[in-house]
């Protein structure tokens, strides 16, 4: 029973990793196609970077989830925990950097208001 459960977890982590990579690849293709179709439009480069960044962020989150499952459920050793901590730290830094790049502000800052809006608050 333990071998069957371990194998199921292993297959699950591989599937989550594959989905994470697929999200990044498909997001890159979609962003590229959208860029090529609308390349003359104003702001299309910013839209390309935003779409690509979001795809990478989602893919990284899935890859981190797979690493956590792998470390906690399959290989719960001190060495694998240290490796997981390093991976999570690096991927968190990448995610944080991408989020700042996409949003154009630090996460703790208020969103920028649109110029020319009504400015009416309830």
Q: Let me know if residue 1 belongs to a domain.
A: no
Q: What is the mean pLDDT of residues 79-101?
A: 81
Q: pTM for the complete prediction?
A: 0.71
| In contact, 52 and 28? CB cutoff 8 Å | yes
Q: Is the pLDDT reported for residue 53 higher than 90?
A: no
In percent, the amount of the chain with pLDDT more than 90 equals 25
Q: What is the mean pLDDT of residues 43-53?
A: 86
Q: Let me know if residue 79 belongs to a domain.
A: yes
Q: Running DSSP on this structure, what letter comes out for residue 104?
A: S
Domain hosting residue 62, numbered range: 8-103
What is the count of structural domains for the chain?
Answer: 1
Q: Let me know if residue 35 belongs to a domain.
A: yes
Contacts 24+ apart (CB under 8 A), 59-63: 59/20, 59/21, 59/23, 59/24, 59/27, 60/20, 60/91, 60/94, 60/95, 61/20, 61/95, 62/16, 62/17, 62/19, 62/20, 62/23, 63/16, 63/17, 63/20, 63/21, 63/91
């Amino acid at each position: 029973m333990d071998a069957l459960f371990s194998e199921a977890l292993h297959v699950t982590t591989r599937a989550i990793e594959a989905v994470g990579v697929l999200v990044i690849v498909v997001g890159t293709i979609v962003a590229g196609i959208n860029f090529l179709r609308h390349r003359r439009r104003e702001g299309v480069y910013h839209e390309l970077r935003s779409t690509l960044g979001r795809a990478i962020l989602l893919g990284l989150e899935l890859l981190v989830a797979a690493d956590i499952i792998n470390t906690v459920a399959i290989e719960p050793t001190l060495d694998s925990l240290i490796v997981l901590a390093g991976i999570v730290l690096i991927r968190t830094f990448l995610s944080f950097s991408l989020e700042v790049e996409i949003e154009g502000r630090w996460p703790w800052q208020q969103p920028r208001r649109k110029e020319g809006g009504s400015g009416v608050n309830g």
